[in-house]
Amino acid sequence: MEKTHIVSRFDKELKEIDKQLQHMAELVTQQLADATEALSEKDVKLAKRVRKGDRKINDLEDRIFELTTRLIALRQPMAEDLRSAITTFRVATDLERIGDYAKTISNRTSILAEEKPIKSATNTIKRMSIVVQAMLGEVMEAYAERDLGKAEHARLQDEDVDQMNSALFRELLTYMMENPRNIEASTHLLFIAKTFERAGDHITNIAEHVHYLVTGEQFENGETELE
Amino acid sequence: MDVNKSKKHSEEVKITARGVNVFYGETHAIKDVDVDIRNHTVTAFIGPSGCGKSTFLRCLNRMNDTIDICRVTGEILMDGKDIYAPDVDPVQLRAKVGMVFQKPNPFPKSIYDNVSYGPKIHGLAQNKDDLDHIVERSLKRAALWKEVKDRLHEPGTGLSGGQQQRLCIARAIATAPEVLLMDEPCSALDPIATAQIEELIDELRKKYSVVIVTHSMQQAARVSQETSFFHLGVLVESGKTQKIFTAPEDERTQNYITGRIG
């Protein structure tokens, strides 16, 4: 795998696409971190910045599509190179979706800023966010290093995210029953938690793309996704 | 293992090669090759120059017999019968295993004579009508009939490169072969003529088993169902084309098809 192509431009182009993809992942991770901070600190300005920042991620996705399409058209990649090109497409799509989630979280943050805070729920969401960010970091490392072990490790952490989401759901349900005035804030928080849970699913997808990239076979999961 | 195996044609093994070795004098050109060639299947042989793919192809219709210093050992069975057995007439064998070469090489005769030559010497036609029929059918199958039907008695050498190659294919299929060997049949052709030949290869697959040697990996990927990768006289990897070009098993195959320095 470390062998270089006879046509060195080919290597450069593949590297450039990988670089853009890693950059996209860094931006997405930052967006998640910022969205979470804006939420817990009721920082409406930061939330607004996150909303604006999504544009950059979408542009990067377009850029990666363009570079990959050009690579396929002009270089006709084969085998590992072909899988790499296809995987780039798929990973970029998942990253873009996670980016969208950061944006929707920020939309809700602006509304939540007006409400009475529900401290413990916010803390759970913060924890979810940290796990999701760590998963994303790990899965992108797995992608860069073609490391199946890391991909699998990242994938398995999704269970923690799912569990936190279910726990939070029960907790917020209690709050809502206690006092109907908690319902609006709780509903927004539920949606936000759900968003992190979805982000975790997309990271799971990326881990599965890495599996395909490395082995040439589609990842087969015994258990099926619940939603 | 053949999950996408087509139900339309029977794809049983037509030619079985086991432990094939070829020597040119002292040079050991082919080392212990085992391969199966299936019916109704296009098998592509790929590999860098000098890897032995053409040499091996030429074993399949005993073209190497014509080279004095060449020695072939091992077993090549067609329909279970050893093609190197003493009672096999190589000329008869070559009527059953046709060949198309890199450069179109029509005889310096008319288009008609080019195609009718094989059937004539093998006594496949009873009379002139029969022969006319074979010529027309072969040219049609080679997708050349429409272009030449009004000038069958003009010289074959007057055709364009792509037409000449299709003429050679018509000539090769006129003797009703069961296997068609093609040694880089498109390397001297432009992209349009290449596309026509590739379309034709796909068509020919319905009737014959086709083995093609090609330097163009894209071509191998486009036309074949099975691919064998040769390197330094060794058959490195053999399998479904789709698998070889998306996820080859052997690192040498991977390096070759992705264009990495091997």
Cβ contacts of B262 on chain A, cutoff 8 Å: 3
Read off the pLDDT of residues B90-140 as tens digits, 9 standing for 90 and up.
Answer: 999 999 999 999 999 999 999 999 999 999 998 888 899 999 999 999 999
Closest to A37 in 3D by CA, of A106, A103, A100, A133: A106
Considering only CB atoms, B245 lies closest to which of A7, A10, A79, namely A79
Q: Is B237 on the interface with A (CB under 8 A)?
A: no
pLDDT for the residue A117? 80
The CA–CA distances, whole Å, from A32 to A62, A141, A190, A194, A205 equal 20, 18, 17, 14, 18
Walking along chain A (227 residues) 10 residues at a time, the average pLDDT comes out as: 80 94 98 96 95 97 96 91 94 97 94 85 95 97 97 96 96 92 92 96 97 93 53
Considering only CB atoms, B246 lies closest to which of A3, A6, A82, namely A82
Cβ-defined contact of B245 to A3 (cutoff 8 Å): no
Which residues from A are below 8 Å from B when comparing CB atoms?
3-7, 10, 76-83, 215-217
Residue B6 has pLDDT above 60, yes or no: no
CA quadruple B131, B137, B138, B139: dihedral positive or negative?
positive
Closest to B90 in 3D by CA, of B78, B100, B102: B78
Cβ contacts of A10 on chain B, cutoff 8 Å: 259
Q: Is B245 on the interface with A (CB under 8 A)?
A: yes
Which pair of structure tokens corresponds to residue B159? 């055709």
Read off the pLDDT of residues A145-168 as tens digits, 9 standing for 90 and up.
Answer: 999 999 999 999 999 999 999 999
| Chain-centroid distance, C-alpha B88 | 20
Q: Say which residue the tokens 């969208």 belong to.
A: A100
Cβ-defined contact of B257 to A78 (cutoff 8 Å): yes
Q: Which residues, 6 or more positions from B204, have their beta carbon under 8 angstroms from its beta carbon?
A: B141, B169, B173, B180, B210
Read off the pLDDT of residues B196-211 as tens digits, 9 standing for 90 and up.
Answer: 889 989 988 998 899 9
Task: Please give the residue of chain B at the shortest CA–CA distance from A81.
Answer: B258
Q: Which range among A74-83, A142-151, B5-14, B233-242 shows the weakest confidence by mean pLDDT?
A: B5-14
Cβ-defined contact of B259 to A5 (cutoff 8 Å): yes
The answer to whether B214 and B226 are in contact (CB under 8 A) is no
| Predicted ipTM of the assembly | 0.71
Q: Is B258 on the interface with A (CB under 8 A)?
A: yes
Read off the pLDDT of residues B42-85 as tens digits, 9 standing for 90 and up.
Answer: 999 999 999 999 999 999 999 988 888 999 999 999 999 999 99
In which element (H, E) is residue A127 found?
helix A119-145
pLDDT for the residue B190? 85
What stretches of B148-200 adopt beta strand conformation (E)? 179-183
Beta-carbon neighbour count of residue A24 at 10 Å?
25
pLDDT for the residue B7? 43
Q: Rounded to a whole number, what is the distance in Å from the CA of A223 to chain B's nearest CA?
A: 24
pLDDT for the residue B187? 86
Which residue pairs from A203-206 have beta carbons closer than 8 angstroms and sit at least 24 positions apart in sequence?
Answer: A203/A94, A203/A98, A203/A132, A203/A135, A203/A136, A203/A139, A203/A154, A203/A155, A203/A158, A204/A155, A204/A158, A205/A90, A205/A94, A206/A90, A206/A91, A206/A94, A206/A95, A206/A136, A206/A139, A206/A140, A206/A143, A206/A154
CA quadruple B100, B104, B108, B113: dihedral positive or negative?
positive
Q: Is B1 on the interface with A (CB under 8 A)?
A: no
Q: How many CB pairs (< 8 A) connect A and B?
A: 45
CA–CA gap between residue B22 and residue B234 (Å, rounded):
11
The CA–CA distances, whole Å, from A56 to A43, A60, A92, A94, A221 equal 21, 6, 13, 15, 33
CA–CA gap between residue B43 and residue A184 (Å, rounded):
66
pLDDT for the residue A6? 86
Considering only CB atoms, A79 lies closest to which of B246, B261, B262, namely B246
Mean pLDDT of B38-45: 96
pLDDT for the residue B237? 96
pLDDT band at B8 (very low <50, low <70, confident <90, very high): very low
Residue B20 has pLDDT above 90, yes or no: yes
pLDDT for the residue A226? 44
Of the residues A6, A78, A83, A84, the best mutation for testing chain B's interface (the one with the most B CB atoms within 10 Å of its CB) is A78
pLDDT for the residue A193? 96
Beta-carbon neighbour count of residue A27 at 10 Å?
18
Which pair of structure tokens corresponds to residue B145? 């009939």
- The H helix count followed by the E strand count for chain A is 7, 0
Residue B3 has pLDDT above 60, yes or no: no
Q: Report yes or no on whether pTM surpasses 0.95.
A: no
Considering chain B, what percentage of its residues have pLDDT values greater than 90? 78
Read off the pLDDT of residues B88-104 as tens digits, 9 standing for 90 and up.
Answer: 999 999 999 999 999 99
